[in-house]
């Protein structure tokens, strides 16, 4: 794969993490959770909110509007780092993720806002192309 593609996927993954972490700072009353390696990530996942949904949606929309990547790849890439971080935490503390298979299901569900955003961007692009 080209180096530019890897950088794009890395950027999308980082934006996905930011989409989950940034809402923590927008919600002052959110409960903070402990975690062996990534307490902010756990707090963001446990406190998934409308802000998280909006940021994931916006990430999917912006990336698809600026690139030709397929929507499903954008959605999957936004959440790619979360299973990796969960596995790292299991390695450090095996009791930290006792419902790991269900976490992966939730991560799959969390791809949906980015996929919806990417599909909407594609529709907007098509409508714009037809008008010009």
Divide the 132 residues of the chain into consecutive groups of 10 and give the mean pLDDT of each group: 80 97 92 91 93 97 94 96 93 85 92 97 88 66
- Per domain, the residue ranges of the chain are 3-131
The answer to whether the pTM exceeds 0.85 is yes
Other C-beta atoms lying within 10 Å of the C-beta of residue 10: 13
- 3-class SS at 132? coil
Query: Nearest-5° angle of CA 17, CA 22, CA 24?
Result: 115
111, 75 in Cβ contact below 8 A?
Answer: yes
pLDDT at 3: 64
3 burial level (CB within 10 Å; 0-12, 13-18, 19+): exposed
pLDDT at 2: 64
- Distance, in Å, from the CA atom of 122 to the CA atom of 102, rounded to the nearest integer, reads 31
- Give the residue from 6, 79, 91 showing the smallest Cα distance to 41: 79
Q: Which residue has the tokens 């993954």?
A: 13
- Distance, in Å, from the CA atom of 22 to the CA atom of 83, rounded to the nearest integer, reads 19
103, 86 in Cβ contact below 8 A?
Answer: yes
Dump pLDDT digits (tens) for 49-73.
Answer: 999 999 999 999 999 999 999 999 9
- 3-class SS at 112? helix
């Amino acid at each position: 794969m080209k180096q530019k593609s890897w950088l794009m996927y890395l950027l999308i993954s980082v934006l996905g993490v930011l989409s989950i972490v940034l809402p923590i700072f927008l919600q002052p009353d959110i409960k903070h959770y402990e975690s062996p390696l990534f307490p902010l990530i756990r707090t963001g996942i446990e406190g998934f909110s409308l802000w998280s949904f909006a940021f994931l949606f916006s990430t999917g929309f912006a990336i698809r509007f600026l690139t030709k990547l397929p929507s499903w790849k954008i959605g999957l890439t936004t959440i790619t780092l979360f299973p990796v971080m969960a596995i790292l935490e299991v390695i450090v503390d095996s009791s930290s993720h006792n419902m790991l298979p269900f976490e992966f299901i939730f991560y799959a569900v969390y791809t949906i806002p980015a996929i919806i955003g990417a599909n909407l961007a594609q529709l907007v692009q098509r409508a714009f192309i037809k008008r010009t």
